[in-house]
């Protein structure tokens, strides 16, 4: 998790989740931003986000609860403009939300944020987590574009803790997987099962993130507990070691 105080704000000039350069903003900018934060929030990170044509000095600030140990407040994004004369302008402000209508399941922890290339364009990628102790957690992977001064969600993915590795970004594409299983036949008193990772490759066409193609990865057979062998897998590692998408005519 990010654990920066508001006086140690970072600007991350990121091209991928794993490649980023950081530099501190001026004390003037940090102090000015601290003055406009909602009550109970601190700044986790600020990234340079000049994704709107014709606009410069645009940033996105990710805000988290000031209580790091027992965070309750939902992760919030501020889309900002810095005029260089000691003043921030808030262009947009949103809370990160998932598909579950229960607001108590909204993420309170920031796990990562960067500007990534998907297809031929850049998107803002935000990875947040819901966690309130114990072994359970829920992971939100969301992609935004910036339009007319607003943050617009274009695609969201969600996974439970043991399937959080089923999403990855690689070669300007998004890959996401789910476990698919079926009973094949009965041998004696037990059934044989067939399972695989039903994997989809996504690209961005300038308007939306769309499915480009699908593939069955890591196909195997086994007993009724076979699906458990996929838990905590890394889709990135599977793709890197040879799992691939076959080009179909």
Chain segment 99-136, per-residue pLDDT in tens: 988 888 899 999 999 999 999 899 999 999 999 877 78
* pLDDT attached to residue 23: 39
pLDDT in tens, 196-248: 999 999 999 999 999 999 999 999 999 999 999 999 999 999 998 876 665 44
pLDDT in tens, 15-72: 333 333 333 467 788 889 999 999 999 999 999 999 998 888 899 999 999 998 889 9
Sign of CA dihedral 174, 136, 237, 246: negative
* pLDDT attached to residue 6: 35
- Rounded Cα gap, residues 206 and 67, in angstroms: 38
Closest CA relative to residue 77, chosen from 119, 45, 39, 29: 45
Please work out, in degrees rounded to the nearest 5, the angle formed at the alpha carbon of residue 6 by the alpha carbons of 147 and 112.
55
């Amino acid at each position: 998790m990010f654990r920066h105080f508001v006086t140690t704000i970072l600007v991350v000039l990121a091209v991928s989740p794993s490649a980023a350069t950081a530099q501190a903003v001026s004390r003037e900018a940090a102090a000015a931003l601290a003055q406009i934060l909602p009550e109970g929030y601190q700044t986790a990170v600020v990234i340079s986000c000049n994704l709107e044509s014709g606009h410069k000095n645009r940033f996105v600030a990710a805000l988290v609860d000031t209580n790091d140990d027992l965070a309750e407040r939902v992760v919030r994004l501020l889309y900002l403009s810095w005029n260089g004369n000691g003043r921030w302008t808030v262009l947009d402000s949103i809370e990160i939300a998932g598909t579950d209508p229960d607001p108590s399941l909204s993420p309170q922890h920031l796990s990562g944020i960067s500007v990534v290339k998907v297809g031929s364009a850049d998107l803002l990628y935000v990875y947040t987590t819901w966690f309130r102790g114990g072994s359970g957690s829920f992971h939100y992977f969301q992609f935004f574009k910036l339009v007319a001064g607003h943050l617009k969600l274009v695609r969201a993915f969600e996974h439970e803790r043991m399937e959080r590795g089923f999403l990855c970004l690689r070669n300007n594409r998004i890959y996401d997987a789910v476990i698919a299983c079926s009973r094949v036949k009965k041998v004696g008193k037990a059934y044989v099962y067939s399972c695989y990772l039903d994997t989809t490759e996504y690209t961005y066409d300038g308007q939306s993130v769309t499915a480009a193609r699908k593939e069955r990865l890591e196909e195997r057979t086994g007993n009724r507990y076979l699906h458990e062998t996929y838990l905590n897998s890394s889709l990135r590692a599977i793709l890197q070691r040879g799992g691939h998408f076959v080009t179909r005519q």
